[in-house]
């Protein structure tokens, strides 16, 4: 499974690519990319991460808390679980306040098969872990 160092390095490289190309590259990688800013559950500081959104419903974005199939949830997921008030930036636009909501059992059952069929990496991640990989709705406030 990817280490914290690897995940942070991948995020830094992704941000660097966006900056280097003036935003022409990096905001769509087979699906839309967003920057999610949460409040650190321990530090209370703003924490940002680049994520993909494999599904959208109107203005609501869906992200997958996969962490590459690791047995532990990603830090950003734990942060928004404790404080669902987040900010989201798409294509480098100003951050918008949003509320994060973890998909319930019915919502996950409806969406997971579609996401896993359209993006095989998520299906593979689920086979690597016994935890059910959560889906998170990012809803406009």
- Residue 32's pLDDT is 87
Domain count, the chain: 1
Residues 98-106 have a mean pLDDT of 98
What percentage of the chain reaches a pLDDT higher than 90?
71
Residue 15, domain extent? 4-140
**The residue to which tokens 């935003």 are assigned:** 23
- pTM, two decimal places: 0.86
Q: The CATH number of the domain where 55 resides is what?
A: 2.30.110.10
- Rounded Cα distance, 40 and 53, in Å: 21
């Amino acid at each position: 499974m990817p280490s914290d160092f690897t995940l942070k390095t991948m995020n830094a490289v992704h941000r660097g690519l966006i900056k280097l190309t003036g935003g022409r590259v990096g905001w769509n990688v087979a699906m839309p990319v967003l920057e999610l800013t949460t409040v650190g559950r321990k530090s209370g500081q703003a924490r940002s991460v680049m994520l993909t959104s494999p599904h959208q419903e109107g203005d609501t974005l869906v992200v997958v808390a996969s962490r590459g199939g690791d047995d532990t949830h990603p830090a950003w997921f734990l942060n928004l679980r404790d404080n669902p008030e987040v900010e989201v930036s798409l294509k480098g636009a100003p951050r918008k306040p949003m509320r994060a909501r973890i998909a319930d059992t019915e919502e996950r059952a409806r969406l997971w098969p579609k996401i896993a069929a359209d993006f095989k990496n998520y299906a593979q991640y689920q086979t690597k872990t016994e935890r059910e990989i959560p889906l998170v709705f990012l809803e406009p406030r």
